[in-house]
Amino acid sequence: MTSGPAPSSDLPAEPLVRFESVSKRFGNVAAVDRLSLDIYSNEFFALLGPSGCGKTTLLRLLAGFERPDEGRIMLGGRDIAATPPHRRPVNMMFQNYALFPHLTVAGNVAFGLRQDGLAKAAIAARVEEMLALVKLEGLGHRRPDQLSGGQRQRVALARSLAKRPQVLLLDEPMAALDRKLREQTQFELMELQARLGLTFVIVTHDQSEAMTVAHRIAVMDRGRVVQAATPAEIYERPQSRWVAEFVGDVNLIEGIVLKTDAGEAVIGDKRGRRYRVAADVAAGAQISIALRPEKIRIHAGPAPPDAPNTMRGKVCDVGYLGSVSTYKVQLDDGVVVKATVANVARTSGEILRTNDNVWLSWPPDAAIVLTA
């Protein structure tokens, strides 16, 4: 994600949306717990987390359907926590689309514009424009129940964009689409966001969706943001074991820093193995090494003598996924390490089989050292 207009390094000073230690409790459960978060203008921002992490509640707080118990929600420098939903310059696309069944497609798209008391001609022109934007020209007279799932999704999108909201909220917008259509829609959303120059906030539990569409992602857990950064940063530099495990596949090795030397540290695990990792940590610290499976190299024969961090083991499971194969390798002491290899040749997937002896290695800069 290098194309985003708002990478974390050069964010504008003033955020468009700011959550200031916002809490929302339902009974005894804090759905959102003293959460602070900034979202900037023109950002495609994703709220990612497991179900029940509070991401939908956060979106509903921004839409105005929930009132925070504590904290402030700022939009363009103004506290909107007490503003009812119909007075907020924010529109939402609902997970189930929530299309009005008694209105046509055009009636649905025009609904918000009518509330503003626009002239009929202006409304009609805007509806046409919106339908063209989502490629539904000529379907304005249909009823929602005469449309396919993908078309309904587009109507919902057109309706939520018709008023040109300052922030567009998308609540799991692609959950009901099949995979092919979902991927296509993801790219269309990105294209729309860039073209319209609006701020999009999407809620999703699908990490690949968040990584595909968003400039920045807030990973949430139990009502809090555990990390907010670009997709690459979250994947390559997770700040905690929880983030490393939630986003993507990872091998975790517990260990202690034995010694450090010029940005490189030697880590010892409890089985007496030694690892060299590129990290700035204090000697004696308890840490975890997080290793992404695709950064581990598999050798069918003994690893070259200069290869760092070599381990010997036996293939115990092969998962062929087409573009890549995932190997589970059991080390001599029983620990299982996962490694993925791109199937660059058509025969790549047939080289290694279960019970083959293999050697693994990984460069010192492949590892992520986590202290949390």
Contact residues toward other proteins (CB under 8 A) are: 63-65, 84-87, 90-92, 94, 96, 98-104, 106-107, 110-112, 115-116, 123-124, 127, 140-141, 143, 159-160, 163
Q: Which is nearer to other proteins, 57 or 160 (CB)?
A: 160
Q: Which is nearer to other proteins, 132 or 282 (CB)?
A: 132
Q: Which is nearer to other proteins, 100 or 187 (CB)?
A: 100
Tokens encoding 314: 């036996």
Minimum distance of other proteins from residue 131's CB (angstroms): 11
Minimum distance of other proteins from residue 143's CB (angstroms): 6
Minimum distance of other proteins from residue 87's CB (angstroms): 8
Angle at 188 between CA 292 and CA 196, to 5 degrees: 115
Minimum distance of other proteins from residue 157's CB (angstroms): 13
Q: Which is nearer to other proteins, 62 or 315 (CB)?
A: 62
Q: Length of the chain, please?
A: 372
Q: Which is nearer to other proteins, 165 or 238 (CB)?
A: 165
Nearest-angstrom CA–CA distance, 349 and 352? 7
Minimum distance of other proteins from residue 72's CB (angstroms): 21
Asked if 52 and 28 touch (Cβ cutoff 8 Å), the reply is no
Q: Which is nearer to other proteins, 116 or 254 (CB)?
A: 116
Minimum distance of other proteins from residue 309's CB (angstroms): 52
Q: Which is nearer to other proteins, 6 or 73 (CB)?
A: 73
Minimum distance of other proteins from residue 158's CB (angstroms): 12
**Residue 359 pairs with which residues in a beta bridge?**
299, 312
Closest CA to 59 of 27, 29, 24: 24
Minimum distance of other proteins from residue 41's CB (angstroms): 21
Minimum distance of other proteins from residue 147's CB (angstroms): 14
Q: Which is nearer to other proteins, 125 or 336 (CB)?
A: 125
Q: Which is nearer to other proteins, 143 or 328 (CB)?
A: 143
Q: Which is nearer to other proteins, 17 or 315 (CB)?
A: 17
Minimum distance of other proteins from residue 323's CB (angstroms): 38
3 state SS for the chain = CCCCCCCHHHCCCCCCEEEEEEEEEECCEEEEEEEEEEECCCCEEEEECCCCCCHHHHHHHHHCCCCCCEEEEEECCEECCCCCHHHCCEEEECCCCCCCCCCCHHHHHHHHHHHCCCCHHHHHHHHHHHHHHCCCCCCCCCCHHHCCHHHHHHHHHHHHHCCCCCEEEEECCCCCCCHHHHHHHHHHHHHHHHHHCCEEEEEECCHHHHHHHCCEEEEEECCEEEEEECHHHHHHCCCCHHHHHHCCCCEEEEEEEEEEECCEEEEECCCCCEEEEECCCCCCCEEEEEECHHHCEEECCCCCCCCCCCEEEEEEEEEECCCEEEEEEEECCCCEEEEEEECCCCCHHHCCCCCCEEEEECCHHHCEEECC
